[in-house]
Amino acid sequence: SNNNNNKSNNGAGLKTSAPSPSPSPSANKKPMSAIDLVHQRVLNATLYRISEPHAKLDNLAFKALDSCLRECFKFEIQPMCTLGNVNASKTIALVGDSHAVYFATIFSQLAKRHNVKLYSLARGSSPWFAVGAPREVNLKRFRPICADYQPVLLQRLKDLKPDIIVLHSGDGIFGRGVTKGDIVSALDIYKPLAKDKIVVIGDNPTYSNGDRPQECLDREPDTRKCVMNENLWSLTQEITDDCKAAGVPYVPVRDFFCTDSHRCPMQIGKFSTMIDYSHSNPYYYATILDALDERIWPFLS
């Protein structure tokens, strides 16, 4: 291991805030939850033009990510990152690809809030379900780093003995010939490596036309023209069913990006929701920290 890369800061200036408060409720009206507030903001972004320019986020990956997490995109195996409350006794290990690397920045803040040490074992191009497939299959589907990393990942988990393992990867990658057998096999491999349980956190939407939110928002004066149809709901349901069959909780987050009618605004408030066609924007995640807490932490307590 390399202690220089085991860092605990939560990102360069990445600030979190709760969603805009709801109007004062009447005596007979229950206040809206943080999740309900985000749902309202998502819906409003599809109906009304946002006058505030979106924040320019050049070189976002290196601005938002912890210095250790930045190393996770290199094409050699790097040490894990220690985040959250590094002195806590309860431990969570986060496993996944580049989607999990971006998610680790905000997940670290939740871990600190709940007095948990977070080990990020996420690596670019290394989805969590790759452990369920032979090396030669992973070499065909993904980059060599993925195939090379699997035995290292499993050994790290055996050494760490985390209380909980959280799995998070891009759902869009499931189009690369990944089967239900791969998912179930991977879950069976992870189960004995966690003292308590494993949890799968779902992914943000993927846009079918490949339009980058920043480009659309720069091009269109009306933000409502940058509301896209999500194209991966059927895949999400398939993954949910696979997890249910294996007795593993699947925690969705897509409703923080899209309405019930599958309409997904590219800008909500000040920030674009995505940094490209498939990766979520850590700065947007920071604005919905309380809703993420309400949704995710009950599965981790």
DSSP 16-58: --PPPPPPPPPTTSPPPPHHHHHHHHHHHHHHS---SPPPP-T
Using CB atoms within 10 A of its CB, is residue 151 exposed (0-12), middle (13-18) or buried (19+)? exposed
- For every one of its 301 residues, what pLDDT tens digit does the chain have, with 9 covering 90 and above? 444 444 444 444 555 544 455 555 555 677 899 999 999 999 999 999 998 887 776 555 456 788 888 888 877 777 799 999 999 999 999 999 989 999 999 999 999 999 999 999 999 888 898 888 888 887 777 778 888 899 999 999 999 999 999 999 876 555 556 777 788 889 999 999 999 999 999 888 877 665 678 888 888 999 999 988 776 555 667 788 889 889 999 999 999 999 988 899 999 998 889 888 888 888 999 999 999 999 999 999 8
Helix (H), strand (E) at residue 268: strand 267-268
Helix (H, G, I), strand (E, B) or coil at 91: strand
Residue 228 in tokens: 């896209």
**Nearest of 171, 269, 289 to residue 217 by alpha carbon:** 269
Give CA–CA dist 5/77, Å, rounded.
12
Task: Answer positive or negative: Cα dihedral of 245, 246, 248, 250.
Answer: negative
**Cα-based angle 258, 260, 263 (whole degrees, multiple of 5):** 45
Contact yes or no for 119/80 (Cβ under 8 A) = yes
The pTM for the full model equals 0.86
Q: How far apart are CA 118 and CA 177, in angstroms?
A: 31
Per-residue exposure over 167-186, b if at least 16 CB sit within 10 Å of its own CB, e if not: bbbbbbbbeeebeeebbbeb
